[in-house]
Amino acid sequence: MTMKLPKLPKPGDTISLIAPASPLPDQGKLPECIAAIESLGLKVKPHPTLEIRRDYLAGTPEERAKDIMTAFKDPDTTAILCLRGGFGTAHVLPLLDWDVIARSGKLFSGFSDLTALMTPMFSQSKLISLHAPTATFFAKEKEGVEASRNGLKRFLFEPWEGLSYRELCGDDFKAKVIVEGTARGRILGGNAAVFASLFGSQWIPTDEKFILFLEDIGEKPYRLDRYVTQILQSNLADRISGVALGQFTDCAPGSEDRDDADTVLTRLLKPLGVPVLAGLPIGHDYPSFPIPIGMEAVLDGKNGDLILGAGA
């Protein structure tokens, strides 16, 4: 099966909004979340999991898997966006029909715990997905939300090939080169904690070189050390051609005598001997820009850039 880019929606299209992981803490905020997606220039078809709460989950694994598959099969919607992350996406993985997902060719967009769904979308369906903020992210009035919204619209409605992150992010691009060099490969990863949790499962691809992308929120540096070490000690480590690091929000050590997240990650990744680019505006902070999981890219560790496409 050949890896393929998803079909992109057009302004005014109807998209499916689902909750594969956790429910809203405050269900009264749902109209604001729907309005936030509509502000992208899309119509929203809400699915049942948006209003289901079972403890910290937006439904049973079966209910959430049904919503996912219904969204991929729905002929009236052209893309699938998520309400929020949280926890529990991995529960649904054995219940999904990866062939149906592959044939649909629909764009799936989400981040955080949704990393658990985008990784096997790469390995099982050969479908490129979009690591991008969810509805709850856009429903907040914060500085940087407009730049984030424009970034997502760029990926929703325009081709991705040849896109430079230095150009896309403009003044918000403050990435720095940790290790120089040029790396090519497909982008793989997402939320560090969730991505690391998939190692040892059937969902991790093992057959080609990739650029490792990681971001996270609310994890102390020693926990980030654990996740990255797990990845680096896996049978996938020799497949890493380069590393792109996004935002590590609220990841302070909690003590002034401890190394911060940047220092810990640099210490772990430098010995790999591959190009490393850190500080990309991608993750849980504002602004946050999308990144396609599974797409070929070039990491330019000389000029400090990430460029999408095999011919970049």
Supply the residues annotated as catalytic.
Answer: 112, 215, 284
Q: Report the 10 Å Cβ neighbour count for 91.
A: 18
Compute the C-alpha angle 233/183/267, nearest 5°: 45
6 backbone dihedrals φ, ψ, rounded to 5° = -75, 160
HSE of 196 in the Cβ direction (CA atoms, 13 Å)?
Answer: 17
DSSP 139-151: TS--TTHHHHHHH
Going 295 to 296 to 302 to 305, the CA torsion angle's sign is negative
In this structure, is the dihedral angle defined by the CA atoms of residues 236, 242, 248 and 251, taken in order, positive or negative?
positive
Check: CB of residue 246 under 8 Å from CB of residue 221: no
| Alpha carbon distance 152, 150 (integer Å) | 5
